[in-house]
Chains A and B, each alone.
Chain A
Amino acid sequence: MASMLLNSMRTCPVSPARAVQYAARSLSTTTQLQAQVQTKSKKTLARPSVKNIVLVEGVRTPFLMSGTTYADLMPHDLARAALQGLLHKTGIPKDAVDYIIYGTVIQEVKTSNVAREAALGAGFSDKIPAHTVTMACISSNQAMTSAVGMIAAGQCDAVVAGGVEFMSDVPIRHSRKMRKTMLSLNKAKTLGQRLGLIGSIRLAHLAPELPAVAEFSTAETMGHSADRLAAAFGVSRVEQDEFALRSHTLAKKAQDAGLLKDVISFKVPGRDIVSKDNGIRPSSMEQMAKLKPAFIKPHGTVTAANSSFLTDGASAVLIMSEEKALAMGYKPKAYLRDFVYVSQDPKDQLLLGPTYSTPKVLERAGLTMDDIDVFEFHEAFAGQIMANLKAMDSDWFAQTYMGRKSKVGTPPTEKFNLWGGSLSLGHPFGATGCRLVTTVAHRLQKEGGQYGLVAACAAGGQGHAMVIEAYPQ
């Protein structure tokens, strides 16, 4: 959850030509050079006792920097747009879905079960139950795996999962003292009591309470933790800037090439039709080097340019049992296979989720890093990604902190986040998970791979990973 500061860098001048030049030497980790693998020969992960669960479709609204075109909406409006987009794209009847689950992080108080409000607004049948989950940046991953669980348990056949985040407006509260006074006022019976309560209000009570951008258990902001993490793994400022530039450059290329097919157009009432992410801005190393550190001053390395920015956006996916999808005449995009959740020390290992979850999920699936054709990792901060890559490449770290015999290895650059990532496309906390999974499905189709891996970190020191298998084309 990058700080508000990060908006400022959006005004940086853009020079795409320069950026492309740098993109070439972007990811500076060791890479295992492998030719594009033709994976059709690989075994499938289908198991006799486990139901095949498929991703039928995935969509998202364009991800916009907060405070831009979506500024006057409400969270459920964005979620509604994603749901309508999914309805439109799949043509599924509005009562053919068994359940709806949404993930979100900063809750709008009026729509705390945003899944229900959005479903009603999107025209789904009011007979479909809906609930909202929250698990920081892996909230929509949790929505999807909850759906998988319901289908696997045989309780549902078709579930819509999604996520939404709306940072253009966040709940800002009165101070605790003021709230207490106001609540007491409700109960006050006599004029005297009321006047007494009003008289007890002090100027200091009027100071509002902003939603915490800090970890509750440690009171440390995420950017600060990311900066310390980068330092702990010896990630330099240049490495971080290079990775961020790579993300923006690849995102721009993917956008220009029309690869981001999950993006739907959204007519914002009273405004233009939005059909593109607006945070993709390849800059140059020189421009990026000018920025001052955003969190640890003056010697820190995490800046606005190498962090993800505050984003508005929503996503939605349709998940079904394979039989049901086929019975309804759908051509599924991918199988959703093994997944894991992990959690670690929220202070010093806050953002190491991918490091912990990757080997675990591969083990579950019986795969190795070499088997994976498509990697989509959530990019919270460039420093966080680089730290994770270094951790995954260290036997010492695996042995000392993870109780494993050896390192899992790093994803090869040429398979990693090839269509941009959270740094460039944007990161609406609750919605990113569905984007990752849908992107893996689309990339597997496009690149002809068989297995994809999604991994992400989340506040609270948690993490997630999922293996996705291409649906035979």
Chain B
Amino acid sequence: MSDFFFFFFYCSSHQARTHVSYELKDDVAVIRLNDPTSKVNTLSVQMQSELSEVMGEIWSNGAVKSAVLISSKPGCFIAGADINMIQACKTSEEVTHLSQEGQKMFEKIEKSPIPVVAAINGSCLGGGLEVGLPGAFDMMLTGRNIRADKAKKMGLVHQLVDPLGPGLKPAEERTIEYLEEVAVGLAKGIANKKVALTKEKGLMQKLQDTVMGLGPVKQKIYKTVSEKVQKQTKGLYPAPVKIIECIKTGVEQGREAGYLAEAENFGKLAVTPESKALIGLYQGQVICKKNRFGTPEKEVKKLAILGAGLMGAGIAQVSIDKGLNTILKDTAVEGISRGEDQVYKGLNTKVKKKALTSFERDAILSNLSAQIDYTGFDSADMVIEAVFEDINIKHKVLKEIEAIIPPHCIFASNTSALPIKDIAAASKRPEKVIGMHYFSPVDKMQLLEIITTDKTSKDTLASAVSVGLKQGKIIIVVGDGPGFYTTRCLAPMLAEAVRVLQEGTGPKKLDTLTTSFGFPVGAATLADEVGIDVAAHVAEDLGKAFGSRFGGGNVEVLKTMVENGFKGRKSGKGCFIYGKGKKEKSVNSDAEEILQKYKLSAPPSVSSDSDIQHRLVSRFVNEAVLCLQEGILTNPVEGDIGAVFGLGFPPCLGGPFRFVDSFGAEKLVSMMRRFEDVYGNQFTPCQLLLDHAKDPSKKFHK
């Protein structure tokens, strides 16, 4: 690589440019982007100004007939705008100005007198896409990843270059070189008119264009798109609506007006609480994807999982596809058969979506050994148990396992509520015992909550974190206690949800109330997803541990449902009825009857839609703050990440702690006091929350 860099620094102009440089290859200017301070290129102020400068030099050089824009970083063209740059702006005007500067540059490239070929290797996101594809300047961006071949079909890119394997240089280096060679060839071809970029439009395309150009049709399109956006965002995310507005302005009133609207709206959006919340989540997630606990003494290469249920099989799936040798053990052949099927289906879905080849799927599956005995456990580096949530069973399993596993092997419990120290009580080596709380479905949910006891060794923690990161998880590390952090926050909210149901709000209405507050999954559906039996179990356990504060709805409601076989989605019935091929789920009328039996009257003073929403959320948030107060959480960032990625706390609110900051602790406390008057200590704000209410300068996030 060194020669390569030396060459272009030497050739680049006299000024000390650090991010953008260029060299001439015959009559083609090859412009290279390389942010020396980062692993990825972003559209920082520096990058933009240097690029503008370089483009200016190139255009004023008559010998240059075309240009190639390429990144020197393997696997990244431009990863988008620089978030820090946007965050550093104090006002919307500042952001608008930045946006306009960017627009000017994009426009310049688009109107370039010479052809500019963007050679893209790897991620090309947001503004990066606009640099790469000036032709598609006005495009709307949804947060989707598009594979290269798809991008070509969509017409986003003109030509694909395949990555190369080993040659006379490292593959990555040669691939960039090759990409550049092909791009230079293409640029020359376009410049001397040997390559035509536009295809003659077909009759259908012409017809479509004409129809789309008609006034009423356009109005209809705007309407349809707006409605769709409204439905998806529930009006909680302002950006998509603004994007449509910009396009409309651009199409109706001309490009200039469109650009102006875009810059102004971008400025406004950047300073919204939603923007702050989402940027906060992004940054928190980056932190939680780093190993902050060092390299473990012994890398985990062989993993054993006990219990091939939904959880166990899910953990197996995310382990084997990262190359971990994994044993999946259950007590019965039927159990492992079902578990193996789950893993196969999970991987095969990726094959159907063309994210994997069938061959890769098979190779991944070869890392899995499903079995009903303890063969191979004697060489396991880590055991994760996902057996039934019963302390006696956990103890039995732990003792059985410890008789077989090697001394260095870590025992991790995937429990959602049982304190780890209680489980570790049966262990001969409690320093090797840790909690690894996964969320269902494991292959979709990004969070992993790791629980340490005061006996858990640092190396055990480092090992658990490195396995979790390998499995692609976002990790929060919390202290031990009933329900740890996540389950402890969820339990009071679900208890409140049961009470709301008992008070006569139907499951559908409850779902609507919660989703319109920003929860991606409604509270009733969430209970079904978690499992009514699990919810009942947790409610009872935590109720015992925390007393009346965890009360609210009657646990008997859940127990009766379980007795009737309504265990949630997994049993086909819960609050709702689930069936194959059914799109609209219908309310389970038998469950409604049970609710009728336990009916409570709804106190009118706290039963408005908004009050119900805040009753649910405030209990969640108060418990989260209490966790921080008690030291279960070490910082608010992990609290926010855990709530959003594990429990679906509204992302637009950024998590419980950011919610307190933006909503106002004082306002929240006074609201809770009103609920407290009716329901008692379930709504008593915790001390830390009171402290924040008293002193408005206190914020969880700076």
> A-side interface residues toward B, CB under 8 Å?
216-219, 224, 228-229, 231-234, 296, 298-299, 345, 347-349, 387, 390-391, 394, 396-397, 400-401
Any A CB within 8 A of the CB of B294: no
Contact of B168 among A217, A234, A298 (CB under 8 A): A234
Residue pair A400, B159 in contact (C-beta under 8 Å): no
- A296 B359 Cβ-Cβ under 8 A: no
CB contact under 8 A between A348 and B171, given known A217-B359, A231-B164, A401-B166: yes
A296–B164 CA distance with the chains assembled, in angstroms = 13
| A217 neighbours in B (Cβ, 8 Å) | 357, 359
Residues of B334-378 whose CB lies within 8 A of A: 357, 359
**Docked-complex contact B171 and A228, CB < 8 angstroms:** no
The reply on B161 being an interface residue by CB < 8 A is yes
Asked if B162 is an interface residue, CB under 8 A from chain A, the answer is yes
Q: Which residues of A contact B359 (CB under 8 A)?
A: 216-219
* A298-B159 contact, Cβ under 8 Å, with A234-B168, A349-B166, A401-B166: yes
Q: Quick check: which of B178-186, B478-486, B504-512 contacts chain A, the rest being far away? A: B178-186
Shortest Cβ-Cβ A-B pairs, 6 listed: A348-B165, A232-B167, A232-B164, A217-B359, A233-B167, A299-B182
With known contacts A298-B159, A299-B182, A348-B171, A218–B357 Cβ distance under 8 A: yes
Q: Give residues of chain B (176-229) contacting chain A, Cβ–Cβ below 8 Å.
A: 178, 182, 185-186, 195
**27 sampled A-B residue pairs with Cβ under 8 A:** A216-B359, A217-B357, A217-B359, A218-B359, A228-B164, A228-B165, A229-B165, A231-B164, A232-B164, A232-B167, A232-B178, A233-B168, A234-B174, A298-B159, A298-B195, A299-B182, A345-B165, A347-B165, A348-B164, A348-B165, A348-B171, A349-B166, A387-B167, A391-B168, A394-B168, A396-B169, A400-B166
Chain B min CB distance to A208 (Å): 20
Q: Which of B178, B185, B195, B357 contacts A231 (CB 8 A)?
A: B178
How distant is the Cα of A231 from the Cα of B165 in the complex, in angstroms? 9
CA–CA, A345 and B359, complex, Å: 13
By a CB distance below 8 angstroms, the chain A residues around B186 are: 299
Q: Which residue of B lies closest to A387 (CB)?
A: B167
Q: How large is the interface on B (under 10, 10 to 19, 20 to 34, 35 or more residues)?
A: 10 to 19
Residues in B neighbouring A348, C-beta threshold 8 A: 164-166, 171
B146–chain A nearest beta-carbon distance, Å? 20
On chain A, the residues within 8 Å of B164 by CB distance are 228, 231-232, 348
Are B165 and A234 in contact (CB-based, < 8 A)? Answer: no
How far in angstroms is the closest Cβ of chain A from B275?
Answer: 42
Count, A-B residue pairs, CB within 8 A = 59
- Pick from A218, A229, A299, A348 the residue with the most CB of B within 10 Å: A299
Measured CB to CB, the nearest residue on chain A to B168 is A394
Do A299 and B166 contact each other (CB < 8 Å), given the known contacts A216-B359, A231-B178, A232-B174?
no
What chain A residues lie within 8 Å of B161 (beta carbons)? 299
Q: Which residues of A contact B178 (CB under 8 A)?
A: 231-232
Chain A residues contacting B195 (CB-CB under 8 Å) are 298
Cα–Cα distance between A178 and B626 once the two chains are bound (Å):
64
Count chain B CB atoms within 10 A of each CB in A231, A233, A394 and give the residue with the most.
A231
Q: A218-B359, A299-B182, A397-B168 are in contact. List 17 more A-B contacts (CB 8 A).
A: A216-B359, A228-B162, A228-B164, A229-B165, A229-B167, A231-B174, A231-B178, A232-B166, A232-B167, A234-B167, A234-B168, A296-B162, A348-B165, A387-B167, A390-B167, A397-B167, A400-B166
- Chain A: minimal CB distance from B161 (Å): 7
Min Cβ gap A404→B in Å is 14
A86 CB to nearest chain B CB (Å): 39
Look across to chain B and name the residue whose beta carbon is closest to the beta carbon of A401: B166
Which residues of chain B come closer than 8 Å to A298, judged between CB atoms?
159, 195
Residues of B near A219 (CB, < 8 A) are 357, 359
**Min CB distance, B141 to chain A, in Å?**
29
In contact, A397 and B159 (Cβ under 8 angstroms): no
CB pair A349–B165 under 8 Å, yes or no, is: yes
How distant is B148 from chain A, measured CB to nearest CB, in Å? Answer: 14
How far apart sit A394 and B168, CA to CA, in the bound complex (Å)?
7
B169 CB to closest chain A CB, in angstroms?
A: 8
Bound Cα distance A219, B162 (Å): 14
Give the residues in chain B near A347, CB-CB below 8 Å. Answer: 165
Find the residue from B159, B169, B171 having the highest chain A CB count within 10 A: B169
Are the CB atoms of A390 and B357 closer together than 8 Å? no
- The distance from the CB of A55 to the nearest CB of chain B, in whole angstroms, is 35
B residues less than 8 Å from A349 (CB atoms): 165-166
CA distance A397 to B174 in the complex (A): 13
Q: A345 to chain B: closest CB distance in Å?
A: 7
CB distance from A229 to the nearest CB of B (A): 7
Q: Which of B161, B164, B195 has the most CB of A within 10 A?
A: B164
Q: What are the residues of chain B within 8 A of A299 when measuring CB–CB?
A: 159, 161, 182, 185-186
**A299 CA / B159 CA spacing, docked (Å):** 9
Measured between alpha carbons, how far is A217 from B357 in the docked complex, in Å?
8
Task: List the A residue with the shortest CB-CB distance to B163.
Answer: A228
B599 to chain A, nearest CB (A): 52
A232 to B164, CA, bound (A): 6
CB contacts (< 8 Å) of B168 on chain A: these are: 232-234, 390-391, 394, 396-397
A347–B357 Cα gap in the complex (Å)?
A: 13
